[in-house]
Amino acid sequence: MLLSMTGYGRGEANFGSARLSVEVRTVNHRFCEISVRLPRALSQFEGKVREKVQSKISRGKITLNVTIDGSESPTSRLTLNRPVAQAYFKVLEELRGEFDLGGEIGVDTFLALPDVLSWEQDVVGDDESWRDLEIALGLAIDDVRDMKDREGKNLAVDLKKRLKLIDDAVEKVVEQVPEMVARQKRRLQDRMAELVDDLEYKKNRLESEMTMFADRTDCTEECVRLRSHLEQFNELIDSPEPAGRKLNFLLQEMNRETNTIGSKAQDVPIARDVIQIKEEIEKLREQVQNFE
């Protein structure tokens, strides 16, 4: 399976009387790097959130943001601390009576006093909180994986086209090797005909030279291995597991075999095909960096 490392997902769930939202963004990264931002009311679940994300996304730079109605304390409500307010009122009445103070005790007086008004949060238990968070988190992860999967399938079409181009170029190399050997044989025959009159020596020397040339230029083994890598590459594209790292390793092996073919095959037409193979491998390498 090819999953792009770039994606965005969102999930929501009820959280007490409020609404909990989870956003997940992923971009390319060599490893799995997770950044989590949680409201204070959910900060104790950071470890569980990381485990949940890592179980579903194996690679990429992942940014996860959780909000509750867009506020850090959305389930809080403003309340009157009646015992404190009554104590203040009693003291103020005593002061006014004892020192014969004028004026009325109004609302503005109480608003200026500390602890008369306070914020209280609705109590949501840990089990219930994690249940709600897990629901929203699961929806967000499913959403981002759907996006990553769609992009991966689109890129897979391009990869398979390039693999076909490489396979065609390898086939041309294989077909040209006998012709390359035949051309070299003709060149050696012509040179020996100009330099040596001894027919037996010519025959023995030609056989020796052609044997050495065939050993140096035989790239059949490398072509077989390269084609084997192409076949495995296609299998990994259709595999149910994320294949980004394996594909990257295969490309290194494909590039190594191609370099060996280029160094062995001392022929201009084959060199052109080798250049084309290298170009396509480089394009594959750039695309593979985007996969999980």
Q: What own/partner pairs with CB < 8 Å and gap ≥ 24 does 265-271 have?
A: 265/173, 265/177, 265/180, 265/217, 265/219, 266/180, 266/184, 266/216, 266/217, 267/176, 267/180, 267/183, 267/217, 269/176, 270/173, 270/176, 270/177, 270/180
Tell me the C-alpha distance between 270 and 247, whole Å. 26
* Strand partners for 27: 61
pLDDT for the residue numbered 56: 92
- Return all residues near 156 (Cβ < 8 A) that are at least 6 apart: 2, 237
Q: What own/partner pairs with CB < 8 Å and gap ≥ 24 does 103-111 have?
A: 110/85
**Per-residue pLDDT tens for 3-44?**
999 999 999 999 877 899 999 999 998 889 999 999 988 989
Q: What is the pTM of this model?
A: 0.66
pLDDT for the residue numbered 224: 92
**Per-residue pLDDT tens for 193-219?**
666 555 665 566 666 666 666 666 778
* Strand partners for 67: 21
pLDDT for the residue numbered 268: 83
What are φ and ψ of residue 266, in 5° steps?
-90, 70
Q: How far is CA 42 from CA 130, 131, 181, in A?
A: 8, 11, 73
Q: What own/partner pairs with CB < 8 Å and gap ≥ 24 does 111-117 have?
A: 113/88, 115/81, 115/84, 116/80, 116/81, 116/84, 116/85, 116/88, 117/78, 117/79, 117/80, 117/81
Give the residue among 256, 264, 263, 260 at the shortest CA–CA distance from 281: 256
pLDDT for the residue numbered 207: 67
Give the residue among 91, 75, 84, 90 at the shortest CA–CA distance from 111: 84
pLDDT for the residue numbered 81: 82
Pairing outcome for strands 32-37 and 18-27: unpaired
pLDDT for the residue numbered 74: 47
Average pLDDT, the chain: 85
Give the residue among 218, 215, 211 at the shortest CA–CA distance from 185: 211
Q: How far is CA 250 from CA 112, 176, 246, in A?
A: 71, 26, 6
Residues of the chain where predicted confidence (pLDDT) is lower than 50: 71-74, 123
pLDDT for the residue numbered 196: 57
Would you say 239 and 149 are in contact if contact means Cβ atoms under 8 Å apart? no
pLDDT for the residue numbered 213: 65
